[in-house]
Structure 1
Amino acid sequence: MNSLAKILKNAQALWPFYIGVIITSAIGAALALASPFIVREATDTIVSALRGDEIIRTALTTVLGFALLLLLADALNGVVRNVGGYIGDVMISRLRQILSTRYYAKLLSLPQGYYDNQVTGTIIARLDRSIMFITQFLQSFANNFFTMLIQVIAILAITAFYYWPLAILLAILFPIYMWLTALTSRRWLKYEKTKNEHIDVANGRFAEVVGQMKVAKSFVAEVRELDVFSKHYREYVSTTRPQSRWWHTMDTFRSLAMAVVFFGIYAVIFWRTLEGHFSIGDMVMLIQMVTMAKQPVFMMSWMVDSAQRAIGGSREYFQVMEHDVEPTVDQTLIDATRAINEPELDTSQVQPLPLPDDVSEPIFEFDDVTFAYEEDKPVIQSVSFTAHRGEKVALVGESGGGKSTLVNLMLGLYQPSHGTLNVLGHNANDLTTARLRASVGVVFQEAFLFSGSIRENIAYGKPDATEEEILEVAKRANAHEFIQAFPQGYDTIIGERGLRLSGGQKQRVAVARAMLKDAPILVLDEATSALDTKSERAVQAGLEELMKDRTTLIIAHRLSTIANVDTIITLDKGAVDEKGSPAHLSTTGGIYAQLLQLTASTSEADRERLKKFGFSHETESRTEEEVTED
């Protein structure tokens, strides 16, 4: 229960709701307990009248008065119960808001390495399950069980006043039932963990396939994916069988144990009544109270089960919350992960670092940088190079040679294992990730657009951009013409990941997005590799416009796109092989010179070798019209 207490403690902003729940529960319990006393008095009045001890007409008036009191008690109890239910519902919704916001803030602040080992659907499923179990338990406790708990304490006190062995018999029920339920839950939770693992894998794959349905269909993998999905759910059902069998077997023993104890309770009440220790009214009242105590006992197994689920869910929740955040994460996210109230977030655009006053100072510099995703397995080793204001630097090397890793370091997604990365005169390790990334614009190989309108996607890096600014960058990115051709223009909804746009259109929107961000450093991560030549020309024209007056780091898939860069860095197994201008490196016999030869070759073997470097053969990418023109 420590995890649940920790959640309530961390949500101290809800203390007015806690007090409201306690007060309404106490009042509701008192009103519910009033009924047996009223019934007792009415019963004794009726018995007395039937014996002739009291006039029937007088007794009738008295009994009707008691009936009216019962009406008032029941009506008030209904009002109080619903007021308490309202308070509990709002409290739980606020708690869900706090827990979800903090969880999301935590996910946003975690390093990229965390996501390298996760499946998106699984992350979402764990969030839903954890918070659902936590809030479900607390809502049931607040709306129902807490009131019953107060009633049980009062009933034990009242029965002890009348006859203490009766209270002991009633009290014995609870530890026996809780012990049997806890014993049952231990094994039950092991089964539940196995079921959750199958659900997480199945739903994680489900989310992946739905997100990439075009790929699944194009490879005729629908039946195969369905089979994998259904197998996990078959395992889910197979695990449910022994789990349910165990639970209901133990529930039978719990019911038998409870029946034996209640037999003893009723026997004592009847015996004491016959002996004259209890009046008929006392007997009716005590039986009512014992019956009222039954419901919490029956609910106890469900509450213990819910508590176990909530505890398990809260462990998953806190496992994520205890992960280390990015070393230089923005303080706003850190504050949001600790917030007990809805955080006041500063959503204004983070400003990029200014250009150094000294023109000769490098814009970015890799100084003896080494990095490994796994310990003792470096991907890049002792990489050193610089880029000055307005220069274009291209990275060339085999696929898996460390080019994208250098880009990831530039974006602050990872930090160097050794060495220093300086950006705009600052050590990247000394900058917040927000300030570093605000200073770097990027166009990825895949556009990564969001659902929503084209306007929203272009303005993603600058949400307060004016209409004129959006139109200007769209025109410069060669995107305005095709956007205007849509009936809704810039308000066209493009669907998840921009599925309504072609590859070239998506990439031009991405170029416009990077233009509007207006960062002093630009990263082009194979930005035209997935395009046909016609689309590439349109995108390349936009990229040329984007690169004006910016220092650019380029990963290219065609030599023609880096022929005019200032410096080429060739990488061999994660280490720098050569540095120099295209003209110089074309004469050294190194990797770049070899690539030039391979590009000119028509040999199939040379083409295959070229692909290892992530380059396509120049003639392969030309359109049919271009070949005809030749």
Structure 2
Amino acid sequence: MSITDTHTKEGAGLQPEPSPAVGAQLLQLARPWSARLLLIAAAVLGAAVLGLLPSLIVRHVVDHNLTAHRTAGLAPAALLYLAVSAAVAMLTAAYGYLAATVAQRSLAGLRTRLFSHLLHLPTGYHDRTAVGDSISRCTADVEAIDALFSSSVATLLGQTVQLVTVTVTMLVLSPALTVVAAVFMPPVALLTGYLRRRIRDAERDTRRAIGLLNTHLQEDLSGAEVIRAFGRQTTFTNRFRLALTDWLRATNKSTFYNAFYAPGLGLLSAFATALLVWLSSRNAFDTIGVSLGTLTAFILLFAQFITPLINLGDEWQSVQAALAGAERVFSVLALPVDVHAGPAPAISKQAISKQGKDRLDHHGSPADGPALEVDRITFGYTPGAPVLHEVSVAVHPGEHVVVVGRTGAGKTSLLALLAGLYTPWAGHVHVAGCDPRTLDDAARRATLGFVPQTVQLFSGTVQDNLTLGDQTITAERARQAATLAGADRFIRTLPEGYDTVLSVSGRGTGVQLSAGQRQLLALARALVTAPAALLLDEATAVIDGASDAAFRAALHEHVTAAGTAVLTVAHRLATARDADRVVVMAGGRIVEQGTPGELLASGGRFATLIALEDAGWDWQHDLDEP
């Protein structure tokens, strides 16, 4: 069996699946707030018990005052009625407020946990998952859970306790009347069960539709410039309208079923009340001693019995939305953050030093072994379609190796493996003698500097983007890195220098940088921790020739002085001419490697590519393999 048959795409199988224990997981969120939960339960119970008294007060007034035409005792009864109602209102407000505070604290932790988990998931998961869908899980789905915790849970608990206490009181007050009212319970149960299932399915569809909508919004608005340039506004608007139609269909289905619940229960309640009144008018209860006050109190209690059912129905849509959202959230949290066959403990900078891997402090030498190494690695993104075939490369401290090759040769994949972003199907990857995936955050930053093809800036100042929140990096160190990268010159011309707020992705408030300035900033960010190794993926592709030449000269001096190992994917072959060694890739394999002089003298692929570039040909895209 081949390697490609036994390995799957990085992140394959890491697709969220509904969790069978969503309810239990939701309860775990509130577990740290058990004291407040006990207060909520006490307030709910108190409100439910006190809520029975108004009906009993009315019974007393009807039987002892109204039917006997006596006014004595009416004023105290009215005051008691008012006091009890006020107490119920205060207890209801108390447990509602407490529930909201528990929700806010619990959901803040959940949102942070989800965001952190998404950042730690394998790169393959993000390759397969739309950004908009991940955003939807962090926002709309968590907000649905928040709505459940903030109001629905308190309402559900309060109404459920009220159902129980009212039922017991009705039985004590008049078993006969309770039996008559119970005739309507089977229709209520059938209606509730039917609509509950339909609403749950509709809410699941709604959550998925919201995720798709967010995906369209994120992708299309980010690419608005391209859409306008190609005149495709109408096409993309129609595509968004189709996604919106799916959302409307799912939402309307949920709304339709929910709309019939309260009126249906209200109608059944009206039938029950009418039956009780009609039977009373026929003197059906005289023989069992049901007084007018008892009948009046029972009708009021029956209304208190039906009201929770209606409220529960109203809240059921929120419950189903929350459960559907929780399924999506917890299904992501259940995904493993690593795809190792077994657990691998994070290796710190100190641990590497103890193992003698002190290249983290730039004290290594070629005799100590390579700082960057891939050994017979095979890797691909799709099962059965490897993009790298048994590739082996080693870069020693103080050595600059440049990788060249046409588009699709596997150059970027090689750097991604060295950065620890993917797991190879076969072979080994080592950075400072360790698997890069096992480095802890501090060791990773001290070990590797990485500049990907696409530059990503973040909200904040120039300094923030250089340090990425690392408070140990001084302003002086940031300026040194910017100077080495050639970024200090333009940074000093900005309104606030290193404290200038930048426009994220070239949009929004703040100063907007050119593509070349953004790339220089990314280079400085990679250099700011003085890492043991640098991975540069076409890191000067959009920088002008003069800036590129200046950076190459500064990088050569830095590599020599600091003993940094550098692996560069070159956009310009001029970069390769200055390298200590050149690796030529084609079809996912290394076809040549050696010093620039050796490869030029051999007249092989590298020499051909140099000749083509000197002649003005786009050797990366336009030509067949040499």
For the aligned pair, the TM-score class normalised by the smaller chain equals 0.7 to 0.9
Structure 1 partner of 2:409: 401
Is the CA contact 2:269–2:303 (under 8 Å) kept in the aligned structure 1?
Answer: no
Structure 2 partner of 1:180: 191
Matched, 1:29 2:80: no
Structure 1 partner of 2:493: 485
Give the whole-Å Cα distance in 2 for the aligned partners of 1:286 and 1:272: 15
Is the CA contact 1:370–1:417 (under 8 Å) kept in the aligned structure 2?
Answer: yes
**Runs of at least 5 residues in structure 2 that lack an aligned partner in the other structure:** 1-19, 347-357
Structure 1 partner of 2:423: 415
Q: Secondary structure at the match of 2:133?
A: helix
Structure 2 partner of 1:519: 531
Structure 2 partner of 1:321: 333
Shift of 1:571: 1.2
Residue number among 91, 103, 106 corresponding to 2:102 in the alignment: 91
Matched, 1:213 2:221: no
Which residue identity lines up with residue 207 of structure 1 in the other structure?
Q
Structure 2 partner of 1:367: 375
Matched, 1:552 2:566: yes
Structure 2 partner of 1:595: 609
Out of 254-263 and 365-374, give the one that drifted further.
Answer: 254-263
Higher RCO (CA < 8 A, seq sep 6+): 2
Matched, 1:473 2:478: no
TM-score (norm. length: structure 2): 0.85
Which residue identity lines up with residue 12 of structure 1 in the other structure?
R
Structure 2 partner of 1:575: 589
Shift of 1:440: 0.7
Is the CA contact 1:498–1:506 (under 8 Å) kept in the aligned structure 2?
Answer: no
Structure 2 partner of 1:336: none
Give the whole-Å Cα distance in 1 for the aligned partners of 2:576 and 2:483: 24
Q: Secondary structure at the match of 1:130?
A: helix
* CA distance 1:581–1:112, shift in 2 (3 Å): same
Is the CA contact 1:528–1:540 (under 8 Å) kept in the aligned structure 2?
Answer: no
Structure 1 partner of 2:292: 280
Structure 1 partner of 2:91: 80
* CA distance 1:429–1:531, shift in 2 (3 Å): closer
Is the CA contact 1:412–1:437 (under 8 Å) kept in the aligned structure 2?
Answer: no
Which residue identity lines up with residue 39 of structure 1 in the other structure?
V
Is the CA contact 2:262–2:314 (under 8 Å) kept in the aligned structure 1?
Answer: no
* CA distance 1:539–1:180, shift in 2 (3 Å): farther
Residue number among 16, 24, 44 corresponding to 2:35 in the alignment: 16
Is the CA contact 2:174–2:290 (under 8 Å) kept in the aligned structure 1?
Answer: no
Structure 1 partner of 2:22: 3
Is the CA contact 1:567–1:580 (under 8 Å) kept in the aligned structure 2?
Answer: yes
Query: Could you report, residue by residue, the CA deviation over 1:332-362 in whole angstroms, capped at 9, with x for unpaired residues?
Result: 9xxxxxxxxxxxxxxxxxx994557564121
Structure 2 partner of 1:291: 303
* CA distance 1:234–1:127, shift in 2 (3 Å): same
Matched, 1:447 2:466: no
Q: Secondary structure at the match of 2:602?
A: coil
Which residue identity lines up with residue 60 of structure 2 in the other structure?
E
TM-score (norm. length: structure 1): 0.85
Out of 503-512 and 132-141, give the one that drifted further.
Answer: 132-141
* CA distance 1:144–1:186, shift in 2 (3 Å): closer
Give the whole-Å Cα distance in 2 for the aligned partners of 1:493 and 1:614: 46
Once the two structures are superposed, the pairs formed by residues 532-547 of structure 1 within 5 Å of their partners are: 532-537=544-549, 539-540=551-552, 543-544=555-556, 547=559
Residue number among 129, 147, 170 corresponding to 1:159 in the alignment: 170
Query: Could you report, residue by residue, the CA deviation over 1:413-450 in whole angstroms, capped at 9, with x for unpaired residues?
Result: 01211111122123446545763454110122332111
Residue number among 116, 130, 155 corresponding to 1:119 in the alignment: 130
Give the whole-Å Cα distance in 2 for the aligned partners of 1:44 and 1:127: 58
Q: Secondary structure at the match of 2:480?
A: helix
* CA distance 1:88–1:510, shift in 2 (3 Å): same
Give the whole-Å Cα distance in 1 for the aligned partners of 2:503 and 2:620: 35
Give the whole-Å Cα distance in 1 for the aligned partners of 2:550 and 2:96: 61
Is the CA contact 1:359–1:389 (under 8 Å) kept in the aligned structure 2?
Answer: yes
Query: Could you report, residue by residue, the CA deviation over 1:53-72 in whole angstroms, capped at 9, with x for unpaired residues?
Result: x6x5xx0xx21111111221
Once the two structures are superposed, the pairs formed by residues 558-569 of structure 1 within 5 Å of their partners are: 558-569=572-583
Query: Could you report, residue by residue, the CA deviation over 1:159-192 in whole angstroms, capped at 9, with x for unpaired residues?
Result: 1112224334545655643432332343444444
Which residue identity lines up with residue 621 of structure 2 in the other structure?
K
* CA distance 1:139–1:239, shift in 2 (3 Å): closer
Structure 1 partner of 2:66: 47
Q: Secondary structure at the match of 1:597?
A: helix
Is the CA contact 1:443–1:524 (under 8 Å) kept in the aligned structure 2?
Answer: yes
User: Percent identity between the aligned chains?
Assistant: 27
Shift of 1:47: 2.6
* CA distance 1:144–1:188, shift in 2 (3 Å): closer
Shift of 1:612: 5.3
Which residue identity lines up with residue 44 of structure 2 in the other structure?
S
Structure 1 partner of 2:144: 133
Out of 574-583 and 39-48, give the one that drifted further.
Answer: 39-48
Query: Could you report, residue by residue, the CA deviation over 1:118-171 in whole angstroms, capped at 9, with x for unpaired residues?
Result: 111111113323222223233334332312211211111111112224334545
Shift of 1:580: 0.5
Shift of 1:32: 1.4
Which residue identity lines up with residue 456 of structure 1 in the other structure?
D
Give the whole-Å Cα distance in 1 for the aligned partners of 2:549 and 2:602: 30
Q: Secondary structure at the match of 1:324?
A: coil
Q: Give the number of aligned pairs.
A: 585
* CA distance 1:143–1:331, shift in 2 (3 Å): farther
Give the whole-Å Cα distance in 1 for the aligned partners of 2:504 and 2:624: 28
Is the CA contact 1:599–1:610 (under 8 Å) kept in the aligned structure 2?
Answer: no
